[in-house]
C-alpha cells in the first residue's frame, strides 16, 4: 500500500434511495428507480424528480438549526453525522484543529433566492429573511458541518458543477497527504428540487420529459434515453491518514488510492465527443494510485442518460481501458444529485468493494449500439474486485476521478 493512500473509515448517505447508508445500499441492490411526480414542479415539462423521503428535520437537527439551514445544508449535516458515527469518532474527544471539511456543492438554494427576491420585487424588503445569505451561500454546507461537529481545520467548498463531489474527495486526499489534517469529512450535498433549476436544465435540453413514465425516465446508456432526472441528496466520507486510523484501531471500509482531474476546454456545456478530458483525468488518477488500467475491475460511471454524455464517457473508457471492466450507473436509480453525485457514487463504490457486489443499472432495456460497454443490469453482479474507479463530469468541461481499493 502506497504512503499516499488514505483510509475511508466512515460513510454517511441521505439519498432518494434511503435515509442512511444501509438503507441506500439495500435499495440500490434492488435496482428500483426513485423518480416520481413532484408537486413542486407541477406544470413544467419535467414535473418529476428523485427526492429524499420526508424526514423530521426539527427532531433530527433541533428546531432552531432546522429553520436556519437550507435543505442542501440539512442534508450535508445529517450525512456528516452518520459518517462520523460510522467511523467510530467522538467529536467531543478529537483534536478539532486536525479535522477538515471539504464538500462539493453546485445548485445550492435556488428556491430560497426565488422566495426572497419575490418579496423584494413586491416592495416588501422588510420581510426578507435576515437568514437569506447564511442559508444560501455555497460555503455554508461545509461551514454548518464544521460548526455542528467542531471541526476546526480547513473548511472548504468545491464547485466544479456536477463533478463537485468527486473534486472534493481529491482535495481532501491532498490535505491528508500534505499532513495538514488527520481527518477530513469529504463529499457533497445538493438539492435540484426547484422550478427554476428544472426549467433552466429543460431549456438546455438536458432533462428527460418522460412524464408518462417518471420511474423509467433516467436511462443511462439506453437507446431511448432523453435526458437526466433531477435529484437531491448528500454523501460524506470520513477520509483519514492510514496511520491515524491504525492508531485508533479502526479497520477502513476501503482506501482512496488516487485521484485526477482534467478540463475538456471544448464547450461550456457539452462534453468533448471523444471523452478527451475524462480520459486524461482517468490516466492521472491511475498514475496517482500507481495502478495500471488492467488492475481496475469496475467503473462507477457518471452516466447521466443524456444524448451527449453517455457516448463521450464510453469513448473515454474505451480509450483508457480498451475493454472497460463492468460498469454501473447510479443515476438510473436516484437521478442526478449534481454537486452530491460524485460523493454518493464514490460511497457506493466503497460499498461495492466491501461487498464484492456491483449494483445494477436501472432502465437499461436496449443498449445504444454506439456504446460498447459491459453495463450491469437487472440484478447485482458478484465480482472478485480489488480496485475500482468512480468518475464525474460537469459543465465547463470539468472531469474528476477517484480510484478506490479494497482492504
Catalytic residues: 162, 302, 336
1 exposed, middle or buried (CB, 10 Å; 0-12, 13-18, 19+)?
Answer: exposed
Measured between alpha carbons, how far is 223 from 314 in angstroms, rounded to an integer? 14
Neighbouring C-beta atoms of residue 366, cutoff 10 Å: 11
Which grid cell is 347? 460511497
Distances (CA, A) of 140 to 81, 143, 168, 245: 16, 4, 15, 28
Q: Where are the alpha helices (DSSP H) in 131-275?
A: 132-136, 140-149, 164-177, 195-203, 242-248
31: left (phi over 0), alpha (psi -120 to 50) or beta: left
> How far is C-alpha 133 from the geometric centre of its chain's CA atoms?
24
- 339 touches 76 (CB < 8 A): no
Go through 371-400 and write b for each residue having 16 or more CB atoms within 10 A of its CB, e for each that does not. Answer: bebebbbeebbebebebbbbbbbbbbbbbb
Which grid cell is 260? 485526477
139 exposed, middle or buried (CB, 10 Å; 0-12, 13-18, 19+)?
Answer: middle
Q: Where are the alpha helices (DSSP H) in 69-209?
A: 71-86, 110-121, 132-136, 140-149, 164-177, 195-203
One-character DSSP codes across 310-378: HHHHHHHHHHHHSS---EE-THHHH-B-GGGHHHHHHHHHHHHHHHTEEPPBTT--SB-TT----B-BS
Amino acid at each position: 500500500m502506497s504512503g499516499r493512500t488514505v483510509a475511508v473509515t466512515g460513510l454517511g448517505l441521505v439519498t432518494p434511495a434511503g435515509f442512511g447508508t444501509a438503507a441506500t445500499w439495500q435499495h440500490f441492490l434492488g435496482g428500483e428507480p426513485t423518480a416520481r411526480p413532484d408537486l413542486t414542479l407541477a406544470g413544467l415539462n419535467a414535473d418529476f424528480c428523485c427526492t429524499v423521503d420526508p424526514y423530521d428535520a426539527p427532531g433530527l437537527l433541533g428546531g432552531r438549526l432546522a429553520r436556519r439551514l437550507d435543505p442542501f445544508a440539512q442534508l450535508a449535516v445529517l450525512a456528516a453525522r452518520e459518517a462520523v458515527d460510522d467511523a467510530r469518532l467522538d467529536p467531543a474527544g478529537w483534536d478539532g484543529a486536525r479535522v477538515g471539511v471539504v464538500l462539493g456543492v453546485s445548485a445550492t438554494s435556488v428556491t430560497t433566492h426565488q422566495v426572497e427576491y419575490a418579496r423584494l420585487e413586491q416592495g416588501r424588503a422588510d420581510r426578507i429573511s435576515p437568514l437569506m445569505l447564511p442559508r444560501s451561500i455555497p460555503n455554508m454546507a461545509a461551514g454548518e458541518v464544521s460548526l455542528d461537529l467542531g471541526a476546526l481545520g480547513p473548511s472548504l467548498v468545491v464547485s466544479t458543477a456536477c463533478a463537485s463531489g468527486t473534486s472534493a474527495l481529491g482535495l481532501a486526499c491532498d490535505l491528508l497527504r500534505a499532513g495538514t489534517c488527520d481527518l477530513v469529512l469529504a463529499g457533497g450535498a445538493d438539492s435540484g428540487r426547484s422550478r427554476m433549476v428544472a426549467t433552466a436544465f429543460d431549456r438546455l435540453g438536458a432533462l428527460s420529459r418522460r412524464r408518462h413514465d417518471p420511474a423509467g425516465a433516467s436511462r443511462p446508456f439506453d437507446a431511448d434515453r432523453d435526458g437526466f432526472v433531477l435529484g437531491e441528496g448528500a454523501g460524506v466520507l470520513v477520509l483519514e491518514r492510514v496511520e491515524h486510523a491504525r492508531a485508533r484501531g479502526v479497520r477502513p471500509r476501503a482506501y482512496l488510492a488516487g485521484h485526477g482531474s482534467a478540463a475538456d476546454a471544448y464547450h461550456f456545456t457539452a462534453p468533448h465527443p471523444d471523452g478527451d478530458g475524462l480520459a486524461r483525468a482517468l490516466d492521472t488518477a491511475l498514475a496517482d494510485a500507481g495502478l495500471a488500467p488492467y488492475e481496475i475491475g469496475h467503473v462507477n460511471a457518471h452516466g447521466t442518460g443524456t444524448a451527449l454524455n453517455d457516448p463521450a464517457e464510453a469513448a473515454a473508457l474505451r480509450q483508457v481501458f480498451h475493454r472497460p471492466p463492468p460498469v454501473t450507473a447510479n443515476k438510473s436509480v436516484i437521478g442526478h444529485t449534481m454537486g452530491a453525485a460524485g460523493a454518493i457514487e464514490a460511497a457506493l463504490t466503497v460499498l461495492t468493494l466491501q461487498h464484492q457486489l456491483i449494483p445494477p443499472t436501472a432502465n437499461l432495456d436496449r443498449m445504444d449500439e454506439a456504446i460498447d460497454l459491459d453495463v450491469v443490469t437487472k440484478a447485482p453482479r458478484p465480482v472478485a474486485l480489488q480496485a475500482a474507479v468512480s468518475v464525474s463530469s460537469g459543465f465547463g468541461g470539468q472531469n474528476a476521478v477517484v480510484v478506490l481499493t479494497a482492504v
